[in-house]
Amino acid sequence: MRTIEHPQLPGPLHIGDDEPSLSRDELIALYWHHHPRFRFLKMAPRAARLLDLGAGSGGLAVWKQWQAPARPDLELHGCDLQRGEYAARYAAFHVLDFDGVRLPYPDGFFSAALSSHVIEHLRDQEHFAREIHRVLQPGGRVYIETPTEASCRFPPREFFLRAQLPTTTINFFDDHTHTRALRGPELTGLFERAGFATCEAGVIRTPYLEEVLLAKAAARQDEELGSYGLWSKLGFAHYGLFEKPRG
């Protein structure tokens, strides 16, 4: 057992010496099974037309078939700054910058929308929330995920790399394209001003998996597992689930 300490950590991180018996694939499946982003996609209404804002590589299209329940009924539309690896699996894919731009869809076109780690890059976050409200039909829901305000005070990524614990962004300012981190009430307030009602909100944690993820990441020098473990342990991200009222 080794311990990682830093004055900007909420407490010492204990990393076990023994590699967990669970395989990498099993750990990743467990992590996502309990993640609100994954639940949102898998529990979307039947035959939903869903807008993926900040689609990245196009991972949502892969998730449709990965793990139960399979969701071949979902019609995904993606938008991002560039076409990702799986863009062809979307019903339509638009390359655009979200800042101050009108989304290329008519009013009420979607029954669901998802945006993960996008809003913190935007200067006009209010416009982004209003545009999502416009393209959603009444009763439609949007899932928003973004770093917590607390992440601005975490140790930088380089600290964890020196400690042989691989990770991606962990301090908010590790990514120079980030503009502003939102506290929980700021995120819900932003979307309520845009006309939404808040259904759920909270910090994303999987406490029972954190130490296992970190031990496996340290043993294998696995950046993905290290990111999942640290993001959960430190409370790197939070989410909001919002609904456009009917009538």
H or E segment at 234? helix 223-234
pLDDT digits (tens, 9 = 90+) for 38-75: 999 999 999 999 999 999 999 999 999 999 999 999 99
Residue 209: name the closest of 201, 217, 198, 219 by CA. 217
- 68 burial (CB, 10 Å; 0-12 / 13-18 / 19+) is exposed
Show me where the domains of the chain are located.
2-79+104-243
What is the mean pLDDT of the segment spanning 7-32?
90
First to last CA, the chain: 58
Q: What is the CATH number that goes with domain 2-79+104-243? A: 3.40.50.150
Mean pLDDT confidence for 24-36: 96
Spell 71-87 as b/e; 16+ CB within 10 A means b. Answer: beebebbbbbeebbebb
The pTM of this model reads: 0.96
**Axis crossing angle, helix 207-220 with helix 24-33, rounded to the nearest 10:** 150
Burial of 180 (0-12, 13-18, 19+ CB in 10 A): middle
What's residue 195's pLDDT?
98
Phi, psi of 121 (to 5 degrees): -90, -10
Please tell me the predicted confidence (pLDDT) of residue 63. Answer: 97
Cβ 193 vs Cβ 126: under 8 Å: yes
Residue 19 has pLDDT above 90, yes or no: no
Tokens of 225: 């597992």
Assess whether pLDDT exceeds 90 at residue 20. Answer: no
Q: What is the pLDDT of residue 18?
A: 77
pLDDT tens for each residue of 76-122: 999 999 999 999 999 999 999 999 999 999 999 999 999 999 999 99
Average pLDDT, the chain: 96
Confidence at residue 216, expressed as pLDDT on a 0 to 100 scale: 95
